[in-house]
Structure 1
């Protein structure tokens, strides 16, 4: 809700779709790997109490057997950062989210470039118990 607050209008349907879309995470026939930067985890779009709850939720997702959630700490040297959020669906399609919309890439060279960038970032991330511990400390700081 907070991420849409700057856009005029009723956002109820959009929010409901975003929440509904999360149900796919519980479909064990699908696999997901998410990477977040510490800056994204700590971004104060909502108040500290709500942000702590969101951070706890992220940590809980690391227990799902089909979900890998990694956090890249600010102390990890990552090299150039991606300028936009991107999603790689498989080796055939990747999307990049811009403020003006979404770009879809189907050219194998473009998809491979995003896979390589993802791999560089993934190598710097904390996963599993390390991610849970890190996220727990972030949430504790907010409380």
Structure 2
């Protein structure tokens, strides 16, 4: 149900249904806009499918049209589904993994406040090149071939956004994410030391949930919140995008819950430096 063709059809169906309901009511776009406290231009973009309305937008429009509850319920459900996007990793591999890096860069350059929840692995914004290479290589023989070197270069270029002090980043990791040995011990040591250095940037916070913390929630997925606009969630097979404000708020509340059990500031930086030293010692 989350394949792109199905999603596109849902969005078209939603736009068509809202347009048909307005026309059946006899209201002009201008009159409906006044009732909904929206601009006429936004109503037009929603009805033509150029703008995907949020669930709240749809509820306001249906209320303005006086649509019966049984019809409203179905359209609100359609709006919730239309605001969920899914892309399989095999699609990015086919197009080129560097394309995914470009997409992420565009998201980061259009956002002011970003919250990364990282229970399994540090995000690409924190990678050293050798670690990035290991994370982008194929892990299964059935996975599509990929241009790893180009994707790594694109990932490194993305990291320039961390020096833009008008943007703020909170990276919340579990101890598992820091210690999981995805690469050789020297690379793991470099990776941990690099994260400790990045944590010194004034617009960056890195927080760590230690194994010893008792946390009343389970870290199921990596997710990233971009302002109050959307949430991306990583799965083994692909990525889900949620745009419903209620979903964004839920993930922000979840993030804050996990953050309340984390090491922060100097404590988190010291933890990362200890991990780097331990990886070096294990190398022998």
Q: Aligned-residue CA RMSD in angstroms?
A: 1.2
Provide the rounded CA distance (Å) in 2 between the counterparts of 1:82 and 1:64.
Answer: 26
Deviation at 1:62, TM superposition (A): 1.2
Count of aligned pairs? 143
Residues 1:107 and 1:9: Cα distance change in structure 2 (over 3 Å) = closer
Which gives a bigger RCO, structure 1 or 2 (Cα 8 Å, sep 6+)? 1
Structure 2 Cα separation of the partners of residues 61 and 81 of structure 1? 27
**Over alpha carbons, which structure has the higher Rg?**
2
- 2:142 corresponds to 1:5: no
Residue 138 (str. 1) matches residue 270 (str. 2): no
Name structure 1 gaps, 5 residues minimum: none
Moved more, 51-60 or 9-18: 9-18
- 1:87 is aligned to 224
**Which stretch of structure 1 is more off in the superposition, 119-128 or 6-15?**
6-15
2:179 & 2:159 partners in 1: Cα distance?
A: 21
Compare the two structures and name the one with the higher strand fraction. Answer: 1
Query: Larger helix proportion, structure 1 or 2?
Result: 2
What TM-score comes out, normalization by structure 1 length? Answer: 0.94
Runs of 4+ in structure 1 over 6 Å off: none
1:122 offset after TM fit, Å?
A: 0.6
Structure 2 unaligned residues grouped into runs of 5+: 1-132
Give the TM-score of the pair, scaled to structure 2.
Answer: 0.49
